[in-house]
Amino acid sequence: MGTEKKKETIALIGAGGWGTALANLLGSKGYSIKLWVFEEELCDYMKKEKENIDYLPGVKISDNVTPLHSMEETVRQCDIVISATPSHTVRSVMKEASPYIAEDALVVSVSKGIEEDSLMTMSEVLTDVLPERFHGRLLVLSGPSFAKEVCREKPTAVVIASENEELAKYGQDIFNMPYFRIYTNNDVRGVELGGTYKNVIAIATGISDGLELGLNAKAALMSRGLAEIARLGSAMGSRPITFYGLAGVGDLILTCTGDLSRNRTVGIKLGQGMKLEEILKEMKMVAEGIKNTRSIIKLGEKHGVELPIAKKVYEFLFQNKGLKEAITELMGRDLKREFEGE
């Protein structure tokens, strides 16, 4: 695609809060955005009222954003295609989109998650479902970024990742705004793992907050959670330094402490005694950490990596482990060095 400065047409697939926020951001830069909306009724409402009432209420949609329900109409003849659906739907949705993607289009993943059955990252899922010509034209956007704050133009910094430096710089230029700063990174797998695992740790810190265990406990969970992320990432071939950047510790801090964090909210309610089924019924948007706890545990088993916090979250969510028992077991593990290999 080169580095020409024309205003590309962008297809954004997925009109959740994050997809809508990015559509608005890019629309405000003058790009023509076609936003695919899964729910036909919501799509009609968005066209008429210029608002995503379900996922981003109160935010006016840019005049440069056109909500569409037809996948073919959304994707065809677009220069850039952004995949923004929940991680467990990326495979099926992008498989539907694939026949309509222009041959020279750039594809960007902004979904966070690990596919449970295959244990693939979202960029690996895209590589699996899209024709080979797109395999070298994939980018990943991740980092600490609540959709509502981006829409309010609050200062935000995120990462765009590609093994191709020129491609990453091109994506950097597409998304960068005075309030939305983009850094590049060539550790694609590390960036994606950080964006996934932090949701599991956020459930743990939310449980801690719900139980009123205090700030000391939260700090311990976050720092030892980061150690787990880096340990698994290293075993998977990622650079440890990636996890000390925006897509790692940055996203971890935001998701574990921010009131807008869906995963932390789930944890708080669990800590307060609510059942998971009740919590999920109340939520319109997806808390990715619930499904991805399973994926992370499977990745740990596959790579022979010990993940004690993630394991306790898994046992509590899916094996009826009591919270007090889980905490006792976590605190009572064998004593060891803080940093392995010293």
What confidence tens digit (pLDDT) does each residue in 232-257 have?
A: 999 999 999 999 999 999 999 999 99
Looking at 1.10.3720.10, 3.90.1150.10, 3.20.10.10, 1.10.1040.10, the CATH number of the domain 189-331 comes to 1.10.1040.10
Other beta carbons less than 10 A from residue 276's beta carbon = 15
pTM over 0.85: yes
User: Rounded to whole angstroms, how far apart are CA atoms 171 and 239?
Assistant: 22
What tokens appear for 314 in the block? 């898994």
CA dist 271 to 201, 204, 267, 291, 292, Å? 14, 9, 6, 18, 19
The pLDDT value given to residue 342 = 43
Considering only the top CATH level, what class is 9-186? Answer: alpha beta
pLDDT tier at 224, thresholds 50, 70, 90: very high
Active site residues: 198
Residues 6+ apart with CB under 8 A from 191: 140, 142, 159, 161, 185, 242, 247
Other beta carbons less than 10 A from residue 301's beta carbon = 12
Mean pLDDT of 132-160: 97
pLDDT over threshold 70, residue 5: no
User: Residue 250 corresponds to which amino acid?
Assistant: G
What is the chain's mean pLDDT, rounded?
95
pLDDT over threshold 60, residue 1: no
Mean pLDDT of 65-76: 98
CA-based end-to-end distance of the chain: 47
pLDDT over threshold 70, residue 321: yes
Mean pLDDT of 186-209: 97
Domain ranges of the chain: 9-186, 189-331
pLDDT tier at 285, thresholds 50, 70, 90: confident
To the nearest whole percent, how much of the chain has pLDDT over 70? 98
The pLDDT value given to residue 75 = 98
pLDDT over threshold 80, residue 2: no
pLDDT digits (tens, 9 = 90+) for 93-112: 999 999 999 999 999 999 99
The pLDDT value given to residue 287 = 79
